[in-house]
Amino acid sequence: MRRIIIAIDGPAASGKSTTAREVARRLGYTYIDSGAMYRAVTLEALRENVSVHNRDKVIELARELDLKLRSHESKTIIYMNGEDVSEKIRTPEIDQNISPVAANPGVRAIMVKKQQAMGEAGGIVMDGRDIGTVVFPHADLKIFMIASVKERAIRRKKELEQKGVKIDLEEVEKDIEYRDKQDINRNHGPLLKSDDAVELDTTRLTVEEQIRKILELAQNKIETS
Ligand code: DC
């Protein structure tokens, strides 16, 4: 049976990663969290005291970074130059500094190349913003996940609280709205629904419902291709 490429795009905190990871697990595929890669570059810039607005310096950092993604149980482990930075890349500080890094065309070119190399053999589920449009424009199945800002903020706040980070809902909402705007309006790899993507509004869906919906679409593709 053919091992297909599934691209899942959508705005911040729309439920992509939880859903994508579980879809991959049930299919026996590899899950690739492309956002983790932009997060790692941001972490490196902050650590090296390089301004996230300094395009050339950030590109230099991105080029030299050795990034490896591994799935472990229900988690993605990301290694940056051999160090496990999985937790360190998911902080409000990274959220607040990532947009200029993700808008940097040089950084995007480097990351897109790495993502294409990771997924070219198929049998992958990759989530992000530009997976169905730029990274894998010929993906077998493209999903565009959306949810209301309010619902996404509630989910993100819960996720942060589970890690012991206290933050008020309004601040999370503002951050999500800001990142949406940055993701939609950037010139390179903007958040954009590909014409052939299936839109999935998860505002009123449970995670299990989202997973089943995508698995159903994936099974159809696998059987007909
Ligand atoms: O999916 P996430 O929230 O972990 O993504 C973090 C940031 O990275 C987000 O603000 C947009 C950016 N990103 C991107 O520009 N392109 C991708 N393919 C994935 C994420």
Question: Using a 6 Å cutoff on CB, does residue 155 contact ligand 1?
Answer: no
Question: Separation of 225 CA from ligand 1 center, angstroms?
Answer: 30
Tell whether ligand 1 has an atom less than 6 A from the beta carbon of residue 156.
no
What's the half-sphere exposure (Cβ side, CA atoms, 13 Å) at 2?
A: 15
Quote the pTM value: 0.93
Q: 5-218 maps to which CATH number?
A: 3.40.50.300
The finding on whether 179 has its CB within 6 A of some atom of ligand 1 is yes
Average pLDDT, the chain: 94
| pLDDT > 90? residue 75 | no
**Contact assessment for residue 127 and residue 135, using Cβ atoms and an 8 Å cutoff:** no
| pLDDT bucket at 139, cuts 50 / 70 / 90 | very high
Reply yes or no on whether the pLDDT at 137 is more than 90.
yes
Quote the pLDDT of residue 214. 98
Asked whether 102 lines ligand 1 (CB < 6 A), one says yes
Residue 108 CB less than 6 A away from ligand 1: no
Q: Which long-range contacts (CB under 8 A, 24 or more apart) does 23-28 make?
A: 23/125, 23/211, 23/214, 23/215, 23/218, 24/71, 24/124, 24/125, 25/71, 25/74, 26/211, 26/215, 27/123, 27/125, 27/215, 27/218, 28/123
Determine the atom of ligand 1 nearest the C-alpha atom of 99. 10
pLDDT recorded at residue 126:
96
Closest CA to 189 of 96, 110, 76, 97: 110
